[in-house]
Amino acid sequence: ARPADLQWFRDAKLGMFVCWGPVTLTGKEIGWSRGAPPWGRRPGMRGGTGATPADVYDSLYKKWKPDQFDARQWVRVAKDAGAKYMIFLVKHHDGFCLYDTKLTDYKSTGPESAWKVDVMKQIADACHEAGLKLIVYYSQPDWHHPDYLSDQHGRYITYLHGQIRELLTGYGRIDGLWFDGLRARGDERHADKYEGAELWRAEELFKMARSLQPHLIINNRCGLPGDFDTPEQKIGQFQTHRPWESCITLGTQWAWKPNDRIKSPKECVDILVRCAGGG
């Protein structure tokens, strides 16, 4: 991204990261609580070890109907907290889509969905109305898609690129893309062979994305450096040459669960101050 396109992100200091989906019916973690799919786990696939059987997990959306959802209220909460942007999850590693994609029926608007709401549209409209920047979270790994990491992985890449095109052409201005390619943490010598840029045709993907929305900022989890780093559940190191964003949960997991331990206001302020001072 151009320096001018990154300036708002450098200045923002606080954003709201929303991870949500049918998994809330179980109170367990999004994606990671799903068991192995019917076709089994494949080389390079880190998912498929959760407690909820895959067929049960994959059917949750047929019962998930959060009728009290109010996108404008969520945006108001973000703005009242001082957040300058929202990161909204449209697809996690479980493959379920919270938008009206034309490429799969495994979505919130699908024929078997109990709810039939294009959540992304409501979030995007609310953010645009309120002047809140919007970054879209999209997981490249997809443990539901039968072609992912298979001999037909090329078909999956066509699917992935097609979905990014849909998101960047159907929902107005998108300020950033937050990919989540499950890159190895720590020693990169042990990074899985399936986790590089070539797995996602990342250079082609970035070029396509910026041809559609040239101002986009993109994170560092697609096998390429991108525009900003994303230390997870920890404070980033002090640096001025490159921005970073610490993604830290308010509770003990990314998805909602009953009786979770929520960080105190003091803990939250401490994290914010340390992040704001880190470059």
- The domain limits of the chain are 3-276
CA distance to 43, 98, 148, 242, per residue, from 7 (Å):
40, 29, 36, 11
Flag whether pLDDT at 277 surpasses 60: yes
**51 DSSP β-pair partners:** none
* Mean pLDDT within 53-70: 98
The confidence score (pLDDT) of residue 195 equals 57
- Domain 3-276 adopts which CATH fold? TIM Barrel (3.20.20)
**138 DSSP β-pair partners:** 91, 179
CA distance to 71, 134, 174, per residue, from 137 (Å):
16, 10, 11
Q: Which two tokens stand for residue 266?
A: 């003091």
Residue 269 burial class via C-beta count within 10 angstroms: exposed 0-12, middle 13-18, buried 19 and up: exposed
Dihedral sign (CA 34, 251, 119, 67): positive
CB atoms within 10 A of CB 226: 21
What does the alpha-carbon distance between residue 104 and residue 102 come to, in Å, rounded to a whole number?
6
**49 DSSP β-pair partners:** 35
Flag whether pLDDT at 100 surpasses 70: yes
User: 62-90, pLDDT tens digit by residue?
Assistant: 999 999 999 999 999 999 999 999 999 99
Q: Which two tokens stand for residue 111?
A: 């024929």
* % the chain with pLDDT above 90: 85
pTM listed for this prediction: 0.94
* Beta carbons within 8 Å of 249's beta carbon, 6+ residues apart: 233
* Mean pLDDT within 135-153: 95
Asked whether the beta carbons of 118 and 69 are under 8 A apart, the reply is no
Name the 3-class secondary structure at 199: helix
**229 DSSP β-pair partners:** 244
Flag whether pLDDT at 192 surpasses 80: no
* Mean pLDDT within 241-257: 95
Residue 14 burial class via C-beta count within 10 angstroms: exposed 0-12, middle 13-18, buried 19 and up: middle
The confidence score (pLDDT) of residue 164 equals 99
Flag whether pLDDT at 229 surpasses 50: yes
Asked whether the beta carbons of 163 and 103 are under 8 A apart, the reply is yes
